[in-house]
Amino acid sequence: MRTLFILLGMLAFVPSFAQKESANVNAGNKLYNKQKYTEAESAYRDALKKNKKSFEANYNLGNALYKQNKYAEALNAYKQALPLTQDKKRMASAMHNLGNSLMTQRQYDKALEAYKQSLLLNPDDNETRFNYAFAKAMMKNQQNKNKNKNKDKKNKDQQKQQDKKDQNKKDQKNNNQQNNNQNQNNKDQQNKNQQQQPQGGGMSKQNAEQILDAIQQNEKNVQQKMNERKAKARSQNPEKDW
């Protein structure tokens, strides 16, 4: 099985000629061709129980897992298969599918390296060459997105700092205004208190005026009483008629 980002039909599985696990691998391959990927996975795992160093069982297991969208497990199966063969074409195919698994996880830089290694093993593979170019474009696009994202974050942080600075200035202005109002209120209250405080002899102007009014009223009352007594005296001592 080879993949062009989605799996294509070339080298769909690798037959096994070993004695121990061959029956399980071949059974898995038949199930795979019938698109029974879950049953094929089980057959390949049975083969690995008999020989965990089987390239065919590991590689084909990776293909069955990939078909089930189990990309992380498929990735691990291809990694297990790679050191188990010296055949360049098989290694190139495993590296190609490894790159595809990495692409599904958006690990474009690692996928690019996997396709590169596959091409070094098999330079004439057009599918791998296409996937290499595709991975390179996707990696560049991802880098641009990250760059724009970082730029947006920087702009947002700067705007946030500016907003905070503006708010601090506004708060400071409000505090100054409140302090000025408070100082004015204190000054007005102080002036009011000074007006009510005794002056000269220790008496306020208001109190002095009240006392003066009382004295004047008292004098009026005394004068009125004196006038009344004089009138009474004249009435009791009339002049004699000689």
Residues of the chain with pLDDT under 50: 3-11, 198-201, 235-242
Domains of the chain, by residue range, sit at 2-136
pLDDT at 98: 96
pLDDT at 7: 39
Residues in the chain: 242
pLDDT at 200: 47
pLDDT at 202: 52
Name the CA radius of gyration of the chain, rounded. 53
* Residue 238, SS3 per DSSP: coil
pLDDT at 105: 94
Q: Which CATH superfamily is domain 2-136 in?
A: Tetratricopeptide repeat domain (1.25.40.10)
pLDDT digits (tens, 9 = 90+) for 12-33: 556 655 567 899 999 999 999 9
* Residue 39: both structure tokens together: 């049953």
pLDDT at 184: 82
